[in-house]
Amino acid sequence: MPAVSKGDGMRGLAVFISDIRNCKSKEAEIKRINKELANIRSKFKGDKALDGYSKKKYVCKLLFIFLLGHDIDFGHMEAVNLLSSNKYTEKQIGYLFISVLVNSNSELIRLINNAIKNDLSSRNPTFMCLALHCIANVGSREMAEAFASEIPRILVAGDTMDSVKQSAALCLLRLYKTSPDLVLMGEWTSRVVHLLNDQHMGVVTAAISLITCLSQKNPDEFKTCVSLAVSRLSRIVSSASTDLQDYTYYFVPAPWLSCKLLRLLQCYPPPEDGAVKGRLVECLETILNKAQEPPKSKKVQHSNAKNAILFEAISLIIHYDSEPNLLVRACNQLGQFLQHRETNLRYLALESMCTLASSEFSHEAVKTHIETVINALKTERDVSVRQRAADLLYAMCDRSNAKQIVAEMLSYLETADYSIREEMVLKVAILAEKYAVDYSWYVDTILNLIRIAGDYVSEEVWYRVIQIVINRDDVQGYAAKTVFEALQAPACHENMVKVGGYILGEFGNLIAGDPRSSPLVQFNLLHSKFHLCSVPTRALLLSAYIKFINLFPETKATIQEVLRCDSQIRNSDVELQQRAVEYLKLSSIASTDVLATVLEEMPPFPERESSILAKLKKKKGPGAVSVTELEDSKREGGELNGGGDRGQDTATMAASNASTPSPSADLLGIRSTAPLGAAPASAGSLLVDVFSEAGPTAPSAAVNDDGFLRDLEQPTETSDSLLVEGSGDLDSAPPSEDPAPPLSEADDLLNKFVCKNNGVLFENQLLQIGIKSEYRQNLGRMYLFYGNKTSVQFASFTTTVSCPGELQSQLNVQTKPVEPLVEGGAQIQQVLNIECLTDFSDAPLLNIKFRYGGALQNLTLKLPVTINKFFQPTEMTSHDFFQRWKQLSQPQQEAQKIFKANNSMDTEVLKAKLLGLGTALLDNVDPNPENYVCAGVIQTKSQQVGCLLRLEPNAQAQVQHTDSPERVSHNYSSIPNFLHYLSPYSVNI
């Protein structure tokens, strides 16, 4: 207990807080809280009317409990009652409770608004301030509706007290931020601007925040504020440190107000009036001069306040970007800070210099600091400072220093923090491309990038290097030679194999003259990597092989031998098998001329903005990139992957290009996300089955026996249909009529996605939510696309992803908030990063709230994240399979389910479903060819669990029979569970 207490006010509260603090365990705390809640509830419900003091005390206790993190579901009414108390303290606690625990119960809101209305008209400044604070703290739309017209009146009325004006200004700002449509400009606007001249510094400080926000949205109506702001700033800057009395902070006159004034000026271009501009330049010079003066105090508060103004002034100078003299001075000042002993200043100097680097006047001045910045990248101990240094190097890079900067960034990459590697890789790739004078340097850089940080090299990066090599014939020979050398390394990254396969397949002939890289040597080198690669890379290599047959007829026999072998032509992966069969056939029946035409060198790609750049913009968060840019990047990706007009080999190459390094676990996902071009038809049609949910009648017809030739004849048609596959799929989903479906429907929505990764999760008349996801080992990434189907803006659009209950410890889902406004017809994207920590059975919840017209829309869906998404397919022989199968005989290791087929049991549909499940479909394992056998490993962070599956269709009885033993000995509970719900939907038989 506290040693000293003045009086005995709310002693019960102090005792309660003490009790909580003395609780030894979480359980004890919860017990004590429950006891208190029961007590308070009985007091509130009791027959005896409570006096104001007791009510205040109990409401305060409830507030304390809520702030500890517990839920409070009563007491709101008592708090509202306190609002109308005549005693200040009771009123104050009532308002505090409402501010913290606001509840959109309409009945209460009406009562609260009434109480606020009374206090606002009370003419008692303390009561008025309390009411205004409450509005500003809650800031709900209901309050905006009630008070948005009243507050401007209070703000500009002649007889309003200063303190009330201050609260009113910021209260109005909050309402304007939440409901700009309800705060109407009027004759008060010009009077608000004149508050900049107010005698009371506090009023100016509060009002300027409001003015800045209003100016950003209505620059013309507020432009008179510029000259007022300049003269106010000038007066502050030139004042002696004691002039402003209590507004001087550690010898710095009015630092907060100065910063806000400089910030307001950044909403406008430089003043046109010469006198005003002259005065402003004078201010800026004075601020820069003061930075050179000796400090008036050794306290960090003094230098922080002074430098806060300095940095804001530099921001303004950069914003104007028209005063070379000031820009260079700013740069020199920041240069001094780069070596300052305060980490904070070094950080801010690096950040601020980034923007200076993009000005033509100061770019050269920034460049002079290159050595210091490189040194910072190498030696700073704080990763956030190193990140700033890397950003600055990127910003200051130009043709003259590109080689040095790229080399430094590459060497930093070897030790860089994992969190920033992907961004660094993109930046290096962009700089290398942008400033490449000779493209051999470019090729070297990208290959180095793959060597050093292969895991972080995204598709966009290696697509881009291929694009550039294809388009520039002066670099093709060099590229072929370099990849050939890079592939010699005993362990090389799969991305390197992809680039190597592609480039040698196109340009291997350019180095074939050298006996050390003769055709057969090239082929053997590539093929030596084949078995280590994932399915998509293997598919790419097969395409490279058929290109070899055309380039080097002498390799034909060897390659045909490879294609013919069982592991290719009977490969359980339908894509690989298809390629092997078709390429083998093509090489045997087509004449040389036909081969040469079909396998002609890739035509140049049309010039376009780098897709990497788009990717970097995307990484910078949703705020930094507009929807159109995102769409551009998507479209680009499509074109890059060989839009439909380039013939079959382009498309097959492209199909494999589209892969991530992930194994076939998400093969189906990959196929659907990448525009396939003219991919082999049967694979294509299978895909359509899985995603269109069309049922089993259509698909078998689509399996095309002469698919390959048909592709050749109608490449565009095929590719078109596949290109639109994503959106077609979106359209085919049945629109739900309910604006906000109850949670119970969410299960059905969820189950649609057990075997697929993309499609429409939800749709109603207003909103469509599309999903694209990919998984790799225990990690996943999900892209949610929220499309506004109406022509009206959605406001306050927020989405929340949560993991209820024990799921919280089983699954880790991270995301960033989305933009709060979705324009009519627009689509916004949200990325979720998912990590499977351990076995789980529930699905995470996605809650979406927005306002359409005035009405709040609120819906909750289940996100289709199921344990099978973390399957890694496993190949095994019949012998291995049954050996393991037999070892799994204990009851908890095995689950069996017999269920009736919902539809006819079509082989292709079944196979697609099973592949969609994420397991490998094993051929020639089960002695009964009717049965399907699958194997996979579920990857979680804590463990890996093998899983075997047999599906035994019984055509006569239309019954299926699934067995699923697991390889681990202990109980792995969710597998049978998910099989259970999986079966009727995904296997769909």
What are the distances in angstroms from CA 99 to CA 166, 342, 687?
19, 38, 53
Instruction: List the interface residues with other proteins, window 45-64 (CB under 8 A).
Output: 60, 63-64
| H-type alpha helices, 703-742 | 707-713, 715-723, 725-732
What does residue 956 show for φ and ψ, rounded to 5 degrees? -60, -50
DSSP 454: G
Q: Which is nearer to other proteins, 384 or 400 (CB)?
A: 384
The total of other beta-carbon atoms located within 10 Å of residue 21's CB is 9
Count of CA atoms in the C-beta half-sphere (13 A) of 587: 27
Taking the complex as a whole, the smallest distance from the CB of residue 916 to other proteins amounts, in Å, to: 32
| Contact code string over 226-245 relative to other proteins, x by CB under 8 A | -------------------x
Judged by CB under 8 A, which of 37, 58, 92, 376 binds other proteins? 92
Q: Taking CB under 8 A as the rule, does residue 201 contact other proteins?
A: yes
Question: For the chain, how many residues are written?
Answer: 989
939 sits near other proteins (criterion: CB under 8 A) = no
In the bound complex, what is the minimum distance in angstroms from residue 453's beta carbon to other proteins?
21
Window 376 to 395, contacts with other proteins (CB under 8 A)? 381-382, 384-385, 387
Tell me which of 58, 147, 311, 478 binds other proteins, using CB under 8 A: 311
Question: Does 510 contact other proteins by CB under 8 A?
Answer: no
58 is in an annotated binding site: yes
256 sits near other proteins (criterion: CB under 8 A): yes
Which secondary structure element, helix H or strand E, spans residue 430, and what is its range? helix 418-434
Q: Which region, judged by CB under 8 A, interacts with other proteins, from 173-181, 439-447, 548-556, 914-922?
A: 173-181
Q: Which stretch binds other proteins (CB under 8 A): 130-138, 678-686, 752-760, 919-927?
A: 130-138
Q: Which is nearer to other proteins, 92 or 986 (CB)?
A: 92
Cα–Cα distance measured from residue 168 to residue 183, given in angstroms and rounded to the nearest whole number: 13
By CB under 8 A, what part of segment 146-165 binds other proteins? 163
Contact (Cβ atoms closer than 8 angstroms) between residue 457 and residue 473? no
| Sequence-ordered list of residues with C-beta below 8 angstroms from that of 866, at least 6 positions apart, any chain | 750, 753, 754, 843, 978
Give whichever of 5 and 358 is closer to other proteins, judged by the CB atom: 5
Q: Are 640 and 611 in contact (CB under 8 A)?
A: yes
Tokens of 355: 């923007």
CA-closest candidate to residue 372, choices 322, 334, 426: 334
User: For residues 269 and 322, is the Cβ–Cβ distance under 8 A?
Assistant: no
d(CA 559, CA 773): 36
Residue at token pair 């950069």 = 318
Write a three-state SS string for 148-208.
CCHHHHHHHCCCCCHHHHHHHHHHHHHHHHHCHHHCCCCCHHHHHHHHHHCCCHHHHHHHH
CA distances from 875 to 386, 500, 690 (A): 44, 26, 22
Which is nearer to other proteins, 203 or 909 (by Cβ)? 203
Binding part of the chain for other proteins, among 23-31, 34-42, 250-258, 569-577 by CB under 8 A, reads 250-258
How far, in Å, are 347, 593, 695, 939 from residue 340 at the CA level? 10, 70, 68, 48
CA distance 848 to 833: 18
Q: How far is the CB of 637 from other proteins (least distance, A)?
A: 24
* Alpha carbons 86 and 489: distance in angstroms, whole number: 83
Q: Provide the pairing of β-strand 959-963 with 896-900.
A: antiparallel
Min dist. Cβ of residue 21 to other proteins (A)? 7
Q: Is 176 annotated as a binding residue?
A: no
Q: Which is nearer to other proteins, 305 or 938 (CB)?
A: 305
- Where in 829-848 is the site for other proteins (CB under 8 A)? 847
**Which positions from 338 to 377 touch other proteins by CB under 8 A, shown as an x/- string?**
-----xx-xxx-----------------------------
For residues 510 and 481, give the distance between their C-alpha atoms in angstroms, rounded to a whole number: 8
Q: Is 263 in the site for other proteins (CB under 8 A)?
A: yes
Residues 791-820 that bind other proteins (CB under 8 A): 796, 798, 800, 802, 816-817
Is 60 labeled as ligand-binding?
yes
Nearer to other proteins among residue 136 and residue 457 (C-beta): 136
Return phi, psi of residue 647, to 5°: 85, 175
- The helix or strand, by DSSP H or E, that contains position 641, with its residue range, turns out to be none
Asked if 709 and 732 count as a contact pair (C-beta separation under 8 A), the reply is no
Determine if residue 12 is labeled as part of a ligand binding site: yes
Distance CA 55, CA 57 (A): 5
140 or 534: CB nearest other proteins: 140
- Residue from 24, 45, 298, 516 touching other proteins (CB under 8 A): that is 298
* Residues of this chain, 385-444, that bind other proteins according to CB under 8 A: 385, 387
Q: Which of 36, 78, 312, 494 binds other proteins (CB under 8 A)?
A: 312
Question: Which amino acid would we find at residue 733?
Answer: A
Question: Three-class SS of residue 1?
Answer: coil
Q: How far is the CB of 259 from other proteins (least distance, A)?
A: 5
Among 83, 171, 535, 542, binds other proteins (CB under 8 A): 171
Give the residue with the Cβ less far from other proteins, 209 or 332.
209
Nearer to other proteins, 556 or 619 (CB): 619
Tell me: does residue 67 bind other proteins (CB under 8 A).
yes
Per rule CB under 8 A, is residue 6 in the interface with other proteins? yes
Site string for other proteins, 843-872 (x = CB under 8 A): ----x-------------------------
Helix (H) or strand (E) holding 569: helix 566-569
Spatial neighbors of 666 by CB under 8 A, at least 6 apart, are: 660, 757, 773, 774, 775, 776, 918
Q: Could you tell me the smallest distance in angstroms from the CB atom of residue 482 to other proteins?
A: 37
Neighbours of 379 (CB within 10 A): 10
Contacts to other proteins from residues 618-647, by CB under 8 A: 621-623
Stretch that binds other proteins, among 91-99, 393-401, 677-685, 700-708 (CB under 8 A): 91-99
**Min separation Cβ 245 and other proteins, Å:** 8
What is the chain's alpha carbon radius of gyration, rounded to the nearest angstrom?
Answer: 34
Contact region for other proteins (CB under 8 A) — 82-90, 427-435, 677-685, 776-784? 82-90
Residue 129 binds other proteins (CB under 8 A): yes
Q: Which of 399, 394, 436 is nearest to 412 (CA)?
A: 394
Q: Which residues pair with 253 in a beta bridge?
A: 248
The binder of other proteins chosen from 79, 144, 283, 305 (CB under 8 A): 305
Is 89 among the residues that bind other proteins (CB under 8 A)? yes
Which position among 170, 211, 316, 349 is part of the footprint of other proteins (CB under 8 A)?
170
Residue 186 annotated as part of some ligand binding site:
no
Q: Pick the stretch among 144-152, 253-261, 330-338, 746-754 that binds other proteins (CB under 8 A).
A: 253-261
Q: Is 263 annotated as a binding residue?
A: no
Closest CB to other proteins among residues 755, 813: 813
61 is an annotated ligand-binding site residue: yes
The binder of other proteins chosen from 77, 300, 532, 743 (CB under 8 A): 300
Q: Does 88 bind other proteins (CB under 8 A)?
A: yes
Interstrand relation of 248-249 and 758-763 (parallel, antiparallel or unpaired): unpaired
Q: Which is nearer to other proteins, 2 or 158 (CB)?
A: 2
Cβ neighbours of 726 (radius 10 Å): 20
Nearer to other proteins, 603 or 854 (CB): 854
Q: How far is the CB of 155 from other proteins (least distance, A)?
A: 13
The tokens for 823 are 């324009």
598 is in an annotated binding site: no
Quickly list DSSP for 202-234. Answer: HHHHHHHHHHHHHHHH-TTTTTTHHHHHHHHHH
What is the x/- site pattern for other proteins, positions 177-196, by CB under 8 A? xx------------------
Q: Per the annotation, where are the binding residues? A: 11-12, 43, 53, 57-61
